[in-house]
C-alpha cells in the first residue's frame, strides 16, 4: 500500500522549496503527495520578494477536505506564516491522533527574508511543537524557539535538542549545517537518548530548500511505517545525494535547488 503524505506549507514558484520541494520529495520516496497551501511567495533562487498569506479559515478548509476523503499516513508542516494559522492547524491536527507529524519551523529564507511573523513563534512553539513526532530546526531556528543564543558547538546543540524535546516533541533533530567546521553533524534527541548523525559538508551553493526536503523525506519514511531513527537516517542519505547531484541541474543564479529526483535521471 502506497503511503499518503500531506504537506502544510508555503508555495515556492521557482520549485526549489516549499510545497513544490515537498511533493517532489514525497514522489522520490515512492509515496503519494498532497499539499495544503498556507502562503504564496514571490521568490526565486536569489531571494523572497513578496508573501501573500492564505486566510486561516481557508487553510482549515483545505486540511478538512483532505482528511474528510483521504487516508493520511503522515503530515509535514512547513511555513506557517502567522499565529492564527498555527492555532488553526494545531486545532485540526490535534483531532487526528496517531498520524505522525514532522514540524519544520520555517522562519528565515536562505536569502535572509523573514518567513514567520514574530508573534507566530510563540504559537508554533506552544501549540504545534507538542504535536510533533519529529521537530527539525536548524541552529538559528532552535535558538529562536528557545530564546537563547545560537549554538556554536556540539555540546550546545545537544542541550538545545533536549530542551526542545522537553517542550513536548517526541523527537528533535537539530541540524548542524550552520556550525563553523568542515563537518555538518545533526543530533537527534528522542526517548532513547541522543544519536549523532555525521555528515561531510558539501561545498556547493545549491542549498535552496534543503530543510523542506529533509523534513519531507522524514515524513515520507514515517508514513511508510519506519521508526524515527530509521526515517531520519534514510532522509539524510537521500538529501546528501540530492545535494551531491545538484550540479546536474541548471536552475537560477543564486542558491540553486537540490536534485530531488536524482534517482530517476
- Catalytic one among 24, 76, 110, 175? 175
H-helix or E-strand spanning residue 50: strand 47-53
- Catalytic one among 211, 223, 224, 236? 211
The CA distance from 158 to 174, in Å, is 8
- Catalytic one among 88, 133, 136, 210? 210
- 25 belongs to the catalytic site: no
The CA distance from 97 to 75, in Å, is 12
- 76 belongs to the catalytic site: no
The CA distance from 234 to 50, in Å, is 34
- Catalytic one among 18, 25, 212, 256? 212
The CA distance from 136 to 128, in Å, is 13
Q: Using only the alpha carbons of the chain, give its radius of gyration.
A: 17
- 209 belongs to the catalytic site: yes
- Catalytic one among 16, 33, 209, 223? 209
- Catalytic one among 207, 213, 223, 256? 207
- 175 belongs to the catalytic site: yes
- 168 belongs to the catalytic site: no
CB environment 181-190: b (16+ within 10 A), e (fewer): eeebbbbbbb
- 31 belongs to the catalytic site: no
Active-site residue numbers?
A: 175, 207, 209-212
Amino acid at each position: 500500500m502506497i503511503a499518503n503524505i500531506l504537506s502544510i506549507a508555503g508555495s515556492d514558484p521557482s520549485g526549489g522549496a516549499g510545497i513544490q520541494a515537498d511533493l517532489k520529495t514525497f514522489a522520490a520516496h515512492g509515496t503519494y503527495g498532497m499539499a495544503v497551501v498556507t502562503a504564496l511567495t514571490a521568490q526565486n533562487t536569489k531571494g523572497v520578494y513578496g508573501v501573500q498569506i492564505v486566510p486561516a479559515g481557508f487553510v482549515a478548509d483545505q486540511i478538512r477536505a483532505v482528511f474528510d476523503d483521504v487516508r493520511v499516513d503522515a503530515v509535514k508542516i512547513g511555513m506557517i506564516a502567522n499565529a492564527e494559522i498555527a492555532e488553526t492547524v494545531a486545532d485540526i491536527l490535534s483531532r487526528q491522533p496517531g498520524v505522525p507529524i514532522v514540524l519544520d519551523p520555517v522562519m528565515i529564507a536562505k536569502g535572509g527574508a523573514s518567513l514567520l511573523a514574530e508573534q507566530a513563534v510563540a504559537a508554533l512553539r506552544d501549540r504545534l511543537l507538542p504535536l510533533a513526532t519529529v521537530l527539525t530546526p536548524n541552529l538559528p531556528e532552535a535558538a529562536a524557539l528557545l530564546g537563547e543564543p545560537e549554538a556554536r558547538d556540539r555540546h550546545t546543540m545537544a542541550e538545545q535538542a533536549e530542551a526542545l524535546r522537553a517542550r513536548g516533541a517526541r523527537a528533535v533533530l537539530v541540524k548542524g549545517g550552520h556550525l563553523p567546521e568542515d563537518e555538518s553533524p545533526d543530533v537527534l534527541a528522542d526517548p532513547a537518548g541522543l544519536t549523532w548523525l555525521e555528515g561531510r559538508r558539501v561545498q556547493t551553493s545549491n542549498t535552496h530548500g534543503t530543510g523542506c526536503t529533509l523534513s519531507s523525506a522524514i515524513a515520507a519514511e514515517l508514513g511508510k511505517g519506519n521508526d524515527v531513527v530509521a526515517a531520519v537516517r534514510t532522509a539524510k542519505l537521500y538529501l546528501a545525494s540530492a545535494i551531491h547531484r545538484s550540479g546536474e541541474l541548471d536552475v537560477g543564479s543564486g542558491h540553486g535547488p537540490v536534485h530531488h529526483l536524482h534517482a530517476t535521471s
